[in-house]
Chain A
């Protein structure tokens, strides 16, 4: 527990970065984790010419892991091209969290990733294989 709920996870949970809704925005997606009802939505702005992320915001309700993971993920996005966003791997999101995530919590940790990929692809995307050890 001391490993999973490190101060920086709890800090992101209590005071999430990039929190809210961008209005107007260029990209949007929302999704939920059916096992626990966690909900998350994300809005992004994209530079027309270079197709780079210029701003991002998310909001949601759910467990500390899902909300902190989304907060940490959104910190890394500004300046990335859409193709670079698509190339983000689920494992890198888990690595970025830096705490051990058990199989029952993988979907929590990857909900932000799933919403982000849905936003850049314009459609709801399937759970990545890395989340499938989770209990659906």
Chain B
């Protein structure tokens, strides 16, 4: 990894310290009596009170099944569920809310595209391109569907400093792939990938583009039209919303041409013993009773983020990143992974030390009240690329501040001392 001292960003766009008051989880202390320093947003984010309250209110006073009942309560629930869909569409700058399919999470959304679009469109000789930086969720579904259809899966390589090798992308595009699947932000390294550039190159080669925005949507503006993407997937639980809800955005003509993924209730117009007619999009892809209250909770999370402003969220995290990157860089033997340019590095820092295994590091940090992820981050090809079995990963969000950065650096320093003793 290249070393370097990034310039420190403009002081925070807002106070993370004050934002902590919005999150009930920060009222608790750890069993060692410490303040909770939560640095694992990249795995899943805490929930602000407004999201919890919106879900409690929906369950208490507005709950019935949606798209079914000819009665006021069901119409109320349906209206709130569909309002959440409009919020997701607006948040992603989707041309229409009919292009938003609710799913459980980004993983399910990728699977939906792989199995629905993939089975209908891939065959022997076809090529799908993904990258070595991906979360397993954007690798394994493509491995499965290419194996099943006889298509070939190729991977764009990574540079030594954790960026996608765009020359390698161009080499793979020469094979005229049918689809390019790429993460907007790497969960394991924090790299912000040049999605719009990649999409333009892919389209020029005749490929569709799927963007895994699970790590981008919580932390920066995601604009599917600016991306020039064909599919974009997000997870609610990483962006202050509940678990069990995510979304697929896809261009409407693609959704209309794709066969259903899961079948059953809600997704049909008419069923006879001989067969069925599919409902319109997006209901065609929403079989069974959906995660109604979770969708409403996601809508509340989007309201909360929109009120802060995604540009401000990004600026806040860039500010924390530059401080944390510098602070970790000052600790002897710490090796930071990923690009050192804050313009292309999200609020995620993966690091390793020869003397302290990431699991030991995470345990020691935990005793200081600092919650981080240690492991392969569901990105084993990234670990293999940089020849590490695992990394320790700290990830920032709206409720973090410079005290959290200092707590991280102090605890890492203590671990180094303990293991070198």
A36, B357: Cβ atoms closer than 8 Å: yes
Residues of B within 8 A of A64 (CB): 357, 360, 419
Cross-chain pairs A/B with CB under 8 angstroms, 23 sampled: A1-B364, A4-B363, A4-B367, A5-B418, A10-B418, A10-B419, A36-B357, A36-B358, A36-B359, A36-B375, A36-B389, A37-B375, A37-B383, A37-B389, A37-B390, A61-B389, A62-B357, A63-B357, A63-B358, A64-B357, A64-B419, A105-B363, A108-B359
Cross-chain contact B390 with A36 (CB below 8 angstroms): yes
How many angstroms from the CA of A95 to the CA of B357 in the assembled complex? 23
With A10-B418, A63-B357 already in contact, the answer to whether A1 and B376 are too (CB < 8 A) is: no
Asked whether any CB of chain A lies closer than 8 Å to the CB of B125, the reply is: no
Which of the residues B363, B374, B375, B383 comes within 8 Å of A1, measured between beta carbons? B363
* B357–A5 CB distance below 8 A: no
Chain B interface, number of residues (Cβ within 8 angstroms):
17
Contact residues, A10-69 vs B (CB, 8 A): 10, 35-39, 61-65
| Contact across chains for A38 and B389 when beta carbons are under 8 A apart | yes
Complex CA–CA separation, A39 to B390 (angstroms)? 12
Q: Does B33 belong to the interface (CB within 8 Å)?
A: no
Contact count A vs B, C-beta below 8 Å: 50
Contacts of B383 in A (CB 8 A): 37
B372-385 vs A, Cβ < 8 Å mask (1 yes, 0 no): 00111000000100
Instruction: Please provide the 3 A-B residue pairs with the shortest distance between their CB atoms, ordered closest to farther.
Output: A37-B389, A63-B357, A1-B367
Among B358, B360, B367, B383, chain A packs the most CB atoms within 10 A around the CB of: B360
Mark out the residues of chain A between 52 and 96 whose CB falls within 8 Å of any chain B CB in the assembled complex.
61-65
Contact A65-B359, Cβ < 8 Å, known A10-B419, A35-B375, A36-B374 = yes
Knowing that A35-B375, A36-B358 touch, tell me 11 more A-B residue pairs with CB under 8 angstroms: A1-B368, A5-B364, A36-B375, A36-B390, A37-B390, A62-B359, A62-B389, A63-B358, A64-B419, A104-B363, A105-B359
Residue of B nearest to A2 (CB): B367
Q: Chain B, 268-305, contact with A by CB distance < 8 Å: what is the 0/1 string?
A: 00000000000000000000000000000000000000
